[in-house]
Amino acid sequence: MSAPLADRMRPRTLDDVVGQTHMLAPGKALRNIIQSGNIPNMIFYGPPGVGKTTVASIIAQQTHRRLHKLNGTTASTADIKAVVGELDTLAAPGGVLLYLDEIQYFNKRQQQTLLEHIENGSITLIASTTENPYFYVYGAILSRCTVFEFHPVEPEEVEKAVTRAFYFLEEERKETIRLDGDIAHQIAVACGGDVRKSINAVELCAMAAPVEDGVRTVTSEQVEQLAQRSSMRYDRDGDQHYDILSAFQKSMRGSDPDAALHYLARLLEAGDLQSACRRLMVCACEDMGLAYPIGIAVVKACVDAAFQVGLPEAVIPLSDAVVLVATAPKSNSAYMGYLAAAEDIRAGKTGDVPAYLKDCHYQGAKKMGRGLTYQYPHNFARHWVDQQYLPDRLKDVSYYQFGDNKNEQAAKAYWDAIKGSTQGRTNKE
């Protein structure tokens, strides 16, 4: 069985690599390192199909190092020992360049097997991972490597690879392939920054294209069928999941309804109703908060409705809720007050509850001095009396600060008026 098209036409020079200009353009760091020939241990971090394996292969070619490829999903400690066994032999006189794909699947012991040889330079490690290496690669390996982050490739760059792939197929097959419409752009957009996926989509489209008078014609309908939904790169357990959720919440907090709806759509089109609803409720309480407290109840009602009707209709109430949160006034004053209080608790600043606030609903409580001088606020004008509630050592602490929004400023004005005028007078007065 022949290799996939993406492997058959893999770039052989850095100039042929599409995307990653932030590292590979002339004068950029990674390109300069590769051209120097002095290759350090590196970790390539980024989504699938963006050039990690390709760049590693180019490094091996340009440095004339023996390249070993292992995959963390299938390789064992014995495979590592086989690579080590080549050291100081005629097979690898200049050392070994080890490309370890999906290093996050190697356990700690397997990764530690490499340490000695990475230290003395007999093995140069280039590891790749689709997961955040700072979470999934053990510290001893990570501290000896430089991390380079690969980005999803922009459609304009992917389109160049797609166009080249169609030309490659024409030459390989010795036939003419006609594109009915802006096919290259359509594939580039549909594959969501994954160059490998887009190139393999080219081969699928060419295979599925009908032949008439010796010409294969690729249509927009074929692309839609073969590359549909490919752009939705989403893994509920991976970095992309948390990145989208983070952007979703920050867009609502930042009062950008368009961005918030975009990330909501990415979550719901992937079927992740649970995560979308959870972040929406958190944002309503944390970021809208007391500036528009009734909005929290509205968002809760929308979330309940979404779970009742399920997808796809759940998008309707959730869209309402997202736009409400994004466009509502914002305040995190209550949450910040809690954080300040919690910081004191963790620092041991507590103190005994004042005796008059302690529970006195049991026999013998009065003998212990519990609740004797407590003043019932409803017995006083406007239902308030000047009374200390915090422990003595914290009596002058202020955790909550009124926000500058209309709702909290109205509450502040109300309490300033009451606390400045009643002075603890009883209702009888």
Q: Could you tell me what percent of the chain has a pLDDT over 70?
A: 92
pLDDT tens sequence across 205-217: 888 888 888 888 8
Q: Does 332 reside within a domain?
A: no
Residue 26, pLDDT above cutoff 80: yes
Q: What is the pLDDT of residue 293?
A: 94
- 144 and 31 in a single domain? The answer is yes
Residue 232, pLDDT above cutoff 60: no
**Domain residue limits at 47:** 20-149
pLDDT tens sequence across 301-335: 999 999 999 888 999 999 999 999 999 999 999 99
- 249 and 223 in a single domain? The answer is no
- 139 and 165 in a single domain? The answer is no
Residue 397's domain is classified under what CATH number?
A: 1.10.3710.10
pLDDT tens sequence across 37-49: 888 999 999 888 8
Cβ–Cβ < 8 Å for 72, 96: no
Q: What is the pLDDT of residue 235?
A: 54
- 261 and 195 in a single domain? The answer is no
- 276 and 317 in a single domain? The answer is yes
Q: What is the pLDDT of residue 353?
A: 87
- 210 and 264 in a single domain? The answer is no
Decide which of 149, 181, 216 is a domain's last residue: 149
pLDDT tens sequence across 353-384: 888 888 887 767 777 777 778 888 999 888 99
pLDDT tens sequence across 234-251: 555 556 778 889 999 999
Q: Does 379 reside within a domain?
A: yes
Domain total of the chain:
4
CA–CA gap between residue 199 and residue 366 (Å, rounded): 82
Q: Does 315 reside within a domain?
A: yes
CA–CA gap between residue 356 and residue 391 (Å, rounded): 11
Q: Does 54 reside within a domain?
A: yes
pLDDT tens sequence across 415-427: 999 887 644 444 4
Q: Kindly give, in sequence order, each residue whose CB lies less than 8 Å from that of residue 255, ignoring residues fewer than 6 positions away.
A: 326, 327, 330
Alpha helix (H) ranges present in 99-194?
108-112, 115-120, 133-136, 139-142, 155-173, 183-190
Residue 169's domain is classified under what CATH number?
A: 1.10.8.60
Residue 97's domain is classified under what CATH number?
A: 3.40.50.300
From the CB of residue 104, how many other CB atoms can be counted at a distance below 10 Å? 18
Residue 152, pLDDT above cutoff 60: yes
Q: What is the pLDDT of residue 409?
A: 94
CA–CA gap between residue 207 and residue 272 (Å, rounded): 34
Q: Does 297 reside within a domain?
A: yes
Cβ–Cβ < 8 Å for 56, 14: no
- 183 and 70 in a single domain? The answer is no
From the CB of residue 6, how many other CB atoms can be counted at a distance below 10 Å? 22
Residue 289's domain is classified under what CATH number?
A: 1.20.272.10
Task: Select from 254, 255, 257, 300 the least CA-distant residue to 277.
Answer: 300
Task: Select from 110, 116, 198, 117 the least CA-distant residue to 156.
Answer: 198
Average pLDDT over residues 246-273: 92
Q: Does 60 reside within a domain?
A: yes
pLDDT band at 90 (very low <50, low <70, confident <90, very high): low
Q: What is the pLDDT of residue 424?
A: 44
Average pLDDT over residues 248-261: 94
Token pair 């992937």: residue: 270
Cβ–Cβ < 8 Å for 13, 58: yes
CA–CA gap between residue 149 and residue 20 (Å, rounded): 9
Token pair 């370890």: residue: 100
- 57 and 130 in a single domain? The answer is yes
CA–CA gap between residue 127 and residue 376 (Å, rounded): 68
Average pLDDT over residues 140-162: 89
Q: What is the pLDDT of residue 91?
A: 53
Residue 429, pLDDT above cutoff 50: no
Average pLDDT over residues 249-260: 94
Decide which of 132, 149, 166 is a domain's last residue: 149
- 109 and 205 in a single domain? The answer is no
374: phi > 0 → left, psi -120 to 50 → alpha, else beta; which?
beta
- Pull the structure tokens for residue 7: 């492997």
- 183 and 130 in a single domain? The answer is no
Give the lowest-confidence range in 41-45, 91-95, 184-188, 404-408: 91-95
DSSP 218-258: EEHHHHHHHHTTTT----TTSHHHHHHHHHHHHHHHTT-HH
Query: Can you give the pTM of this predicted structure?
Result: 0.63
pLDDT band at 31 (very low <50, low <70, confident <90, very high): very high
C-alpha to C-alpha distances, 415 to 172, 330, 336, 422, 428, nearest whole angstrom: 81, 21, 20, 11, 21
Decide which of 102, 120, 149 is a domain's last residue: 149
- 203 and 256 in a single domain? The answer is no
- 80 and 142 in a single domain? The answer is yes
Q: How far does Cα 217 stand from its chain's mean position?
A: 39
Q: In what order do the strands lie in the sheet with 215-219?
A: 176-180, 215-219, 211-212
Q: What is the pLDDT of residue 223?
A: 85
Residue 193, pLDDT above cutoff 80: no
Token pair 């490659």: residue: 168
Residue 257, pLDDT above cutoff 50: yes
Q: What is the pLDDT of residue 208?
A: 86
Average pLDDT over residues 167-179: 89
Q: Does 342 reside within a domain?
A: no
Q: Does 26 reside within a domain?
A: yes
Q: Could you tell me what percent of the chain has a pLDDT over 90?
A: 38
Q: What is the pLDDT of residue 186?
A: 87
Helices 52-63 & 29-36 angle (0-180, nearest 10): 30
Task: Give the CA-trace dihedral at 160, 17, 47, 126, to 10 degrees.
Answer: 170
CA–CA gap between residue 405 and residue 411 (Å, rounded): 10
Helices 273-283 & 257-269 angle (0-180, nearest 10): 150
Q: What is the pLDDT of residue 92?
A: 53
